[in-house]
Amino acid sequence: MVNVGKMSKADLAQLSAQAANDKYGIVETESNLAKYKSQLKQLLEITDESGFEIVLPEATDAQATATVPALSFVYENAITNRPEIVYSQLGIKSSNLNIAIAKASYMPTISLTGSAMTSSSSMNENSWVNQIKTNFDMALGATVSMPIYDQRQTKTALNKARIARENALLELDDQKKKIWNTVEGYWIDANNNQQKYLAAKSNVESAQMSYDLMSEQFRLGLKNIIELMNSKTNLIKAQQDMLQSKYMTILSKQMLDLYGNR
């Protein structure tokens, strides 16, 4: 195009500079990818020099556009199955048992005792069997203990058990609030990113058509290099927005599935 006079050398230099800048961007991105792989290997404690490649999970349009589960459905399943909720519920049960144990100290204590004994002597003229039968003796006893004064130990233990139960109930409520906030956050992100993805997908189609038309006009000498580069930049930005919203939608929905135990 320069040889036939359809493009100036300045435009050619600018186009060449843009191509070189794109190549530099590729090298920089590949370098960042290698660093992230190295960090992942360290997390997995892989110390040898064997090859390490990441298998990208499948991310289809169907996954991104699938219906987001209802917020109430995810929350109800989460407060039923999440381990932090189960742990808090066990804490309440444990505190109830401690209260029952503390109350038991107010109850009277009944102790039963019993004994049986016999004896024999070589100096006795009776036979050993007769001695055992004759000297056999039994004793039974019962003791009733009434707690009257124990220096407030029982009352203190009961109050501590009741406070522990209140703390367990507060902990359960706090965990439910945290789960609600977390689930609601993922639910909002899933819906918002899904809408962004649908809009970005349409935007990519329009930007692609605009870039193709601009490229053809540039080839015919009807558009300059600035207009072509701006059209390319718009297309790349639209593609980036679409990919980001797509993966963020899928991530948020998978987190909802995790909390909903689907």
| 134 and 211 part of one domain | no
Do 225 and 218 touch, CB atoms closer than 8 A?
Answer: yes
For residues 79 and 180, give the distance between their C-alpha atoms in angstroms, rounded to a whole number. Answer: 9
First to last CA, the chain: 60
Q: Tokens 């107010």 belong to which residue?
A: 106
| 115 and 205 part of one domain | no
CATH code of 187's domain: 1.20.1600.10
Report mean pLDDT in 10-residue bins for the chain, 262 residues.
Answer: 79 86 93 91 81 80 91 91 90 91 82 87 76 81 76 81 92 93 95 95 94 90 85 94 95 92 66
Beta-strand runs (E) in 54-213: 109-117, 137-145
Chain-centre distance of CA 155, in angstroms?
41
| 139 and 158 part of one domain | no
| 158 and 190 part of one domain | yes
What is the span of the domain harbouring residue 20?
Answer: 1-55
| 181 and 240 part of one domain | yes
| 204 and 244 part of one domain | yes
For residues 177 and 79, give the distance between their C-alpha atoms in angstroms, rounded to a whole number. Answer: 10
Instruction: With H, G, I as helix, E, B as strand and everything else as coil, classify residue 46.
Output: coil
| 49 and 67 part of one domain | no
| 175 and 80 part of one domain | yes
Do 225 and 7 touch, CB atoms closer than 8 A?
Answer: yes
- Looking at residue 93, what is its pLDDT? 92
- Looking at residue 6, what is its pLDDT? 75
- Looking at residue 151, what is its pLDDT? 62
In the chain, how many domains are there? 3
| 140 and 166 part of one domain | no
| 201 and 256 part of one domain | yes
Domain end call among 92, 119, 145: 145
Question: How many helices (DSSP H) and strands (DSSP E) are in the chain?
Answer: 7, 2
pTM exceeding the 0.85 threshold for the entire prediction: no
Do 109 and 148 touch, CB atoms closer than 8 A?
Answer: no
| 164 and 246 part of one domain | yes
Give 44: exposed, middle or buried? Use CB within 10 Å, 0-12, 13-18, 19+.
Answer: exposed
| 93 and 158 part of one domain | yes
Q: Which amino acid is present at 245?
A: S
For residues 12 and 3, give the distance between their C-alpha atoms in angstroms, rounded to a whole number. Answer: 11
Do 158 and 119 touch, CB atoms closer than 8 A?
Answer: no
Q: Tokens 């490229």 belong to which residue?
A: 215
